[in-house]
Amino acid sequence: MEAKETKWLYETILSGPGMDEQVKFSFTASRKVILLLAEAIENGLKMEGSGLKDSIGTTGITELEQLKELVLERSNLSLLANQLTKIK
């Protein structure tokens, strides 16, 4: 699928009814999974040409960055994640 088709698909899905509603959830995950989730979010936000970044805009990017920081903070992995980022 080309980037513009992917962007159109994401925009269509994300503009559906109720997609802007706030959702509160509680889950349990290992620190390993939390660290991998944070890395996946960070890598996804760095990807160019996927259509995802273009379709979510700056608000969506900010929300994903905040979610990444929140899960790292709550799992006491912020310092480790920052140190790993410096190594890259």
pLDDT band at 34 (very low <50, low <70, confident <90, very high): very high
pLDDT band at 21 (very low <50, low <70, confident <90, very high): very high
Please state the rounded mean pLDDT for residues 28-38.
96
SS3 assignment for 18-73: CCCCCCCCCCCCCHHHHHHHHHHHHHHHHCCCCCHHHHHHHHHHHHHHHHHHHHHH
pLDDT at 55: 83
Domain edges within the chain: 3-10+28-87
Please state the rounded mean pLDDT for residues 55-84.
93
Residue 76: pLDDT over 90:
yes
pTM, two decimal places: 0.81
- CA 64 → CA 1, 26, 33, 40, distances in Å? 24, 17, 17, 11
pLDDT band at 80 (very low <50, low <70, confident <90, very high): very high
